[in-house]
Structure 1
Amino acid sequence: MAEVVLKDVMKAYGAVHAVKDVSFTVEHGEFVALVGPSGCGKTTTLNLIAGLIPLTDGEIVIGERVVTDLDPKDRDIAMVFQNYALYPNKTVFNNLAFPLQMRKQSREAIDKKVRDAAKVLDITHLLDRRPRELSGGQQQRVALGRALVRDPAVFLMDEPLSNLDAKLRVQMRSEIKRFHHNLNATIIYVTHDQLEAVTMADKMAVMHGGCLQQYDTPANVFANPINTFVASFVGSPAMSLIPVDVATEGGGTVLRGASGWTLPLSAINARKAQGSSNGKAVLGARHSTLKLHRTALPGAVPGKVYSVEPTGDVTFAQIIVDAEVVNISLDPSVVIQPDEAVWIEFDQDRMHLFDGQTTMALKAAE
Structure 2
Amino acid sequence: MAGVVLKDVMKSYGAVHAVQDVSFRVEDGEFVALVGPSGCGKTTTLNLIAGLIPLSSGEIVIGERVVTDLDPKDRDIAMVFQNYALYPNKTVFNNLAFPLQMRRQSKDAIEKKVREAAAVLDITHLLERRPRELSGGQQQRVALGRALVRDPAVFLMDEPLSNLDAKLRVQMRSEIKRFHHNLNATIVYVTHDQLEAVTMADKMAVMHGGFLQQYDSPANVFANPVNTFVASFVGSPAMSLIPVDVASEGGTMALRGAGGWTLPLSPLNARKAQGSSTGKAVLGARHSTLKLHRQAAPGRVPGKIYSVEPTGDVTFVQVVVDAEVINISLDPSVAVEPDEAVWIAFDQDRLHLFDGRTTMALKVA
Asked if TM exceeds 0.5, the reply is yes
Q: Which residue of 1 aligns with 2:118?
A: 118
Q: Which residue of 2 aligns with 1:338?
A: 338
Q: CA RMSD in A?
A: 0.3
Query: What is the TM-score of this pair, normalised by structure 2?
Result: 1.00
Q: Distance in 2 between matches of 1:283 and 1:364?
A: 16
Deviation at 1:297? 1.2
Deviation at 1:364? 1.1
For the pair 1:10 / 2:10, whether they are aligned, the reply is yes
Tell me which stretches of 4 or more aligned residues in structure 1 moved more than 2 Å. Answer: none
The within-5 A match list for 1:96-107 is: 96-107=96-107
Q: Distance in 1 between matches of 2:140 and 2:134?
A: 9
Report sequence identity in percent: 89
Which AA in structure 1 matches 2:185?
Answer: A
* Equivalences, count: 365
Q: Distance in 2 between matches of 1:217 and 1:300?
A: 33
Deviation at 1:30? 0.2
Q: Which residue of 1 aligns with 2:140?
A: 140
Q: Distance in 1 between matches of 2:364 and 2:10?
A: 34
Query: What is the TM-score of this pair, normalised by structure 1?
Result: 1.00
Q: Distance in 2 between matches of 1:97 and 1:325?
A: 53
Q: Distance in 2 between matches of 1:67 and 1:125?
A: 38
Which AA in structure 2 matches 1:128?
Answer: E
Q: Distance in 2 between matches of 1:348 and 1:301?
A: 13
Which AA in structure 1 matches 2:263?
Answer: L
Q: Distance in 2 between matches of 1:49 and 1:155?
A: 11
Q: Distance in 2 between matches of 1:166 and 1:256?
A: 42
Which AA in structure 2 matches 1:181?
Answer: H
2:23 match: secondary structure: strand
Q: Distance in 1 between matches of 2:169 and 2:30?
A: 21
Deviation at 1:68? 0.1
The within-5 A match list for 1:60-99 is: 60-99=60-99
Q: Distance in 2 between matches of 1:245 and 1:83?
A: 48
For the pair 1:207 / 2:235, whether they are aligned, the reply is no
Deviation at 1:271? 0.4
1:100 match: secondary structure: helix
Q: Distance in 1 between matches of 2:23 and 2:88?
A: 39
2:58 match: secondary structure: strand
The within-5 A match list for 1:190-229 is: 190-229=190-229
2:204 match: secondary structure: strand
Q: Distance in 1 between matches of 2:297 and 2:218?
A: 35
Which AA in structure 2 matches 1:245?
Answer: D
Q: Which residue of 1 aligns with 2:299?
A: 299
Deviation at 1:99? 0.2
Q: Distance in 1 between matches of 2:341 and 2:193?
A: 34
2:303 match: secondary structure: strand
Which AA in structure 2 matches 1:99?
Answer: P
Q: Which residue of 1 aligns with 2:109?
A: 109
Q: Distance in 1 between matches of 2:364 and 2:264?
A: 16
Q: Distance in 1 between matches of 2:208 and 2:346?
A: 29
Q: Distance in 2 between matches of 1:99 and 1:334?
A: 58
Q: Which residue of 1 aligns with 2:269?
A: 269
Which AA in structure 1 matches 2:363?
Answer: K
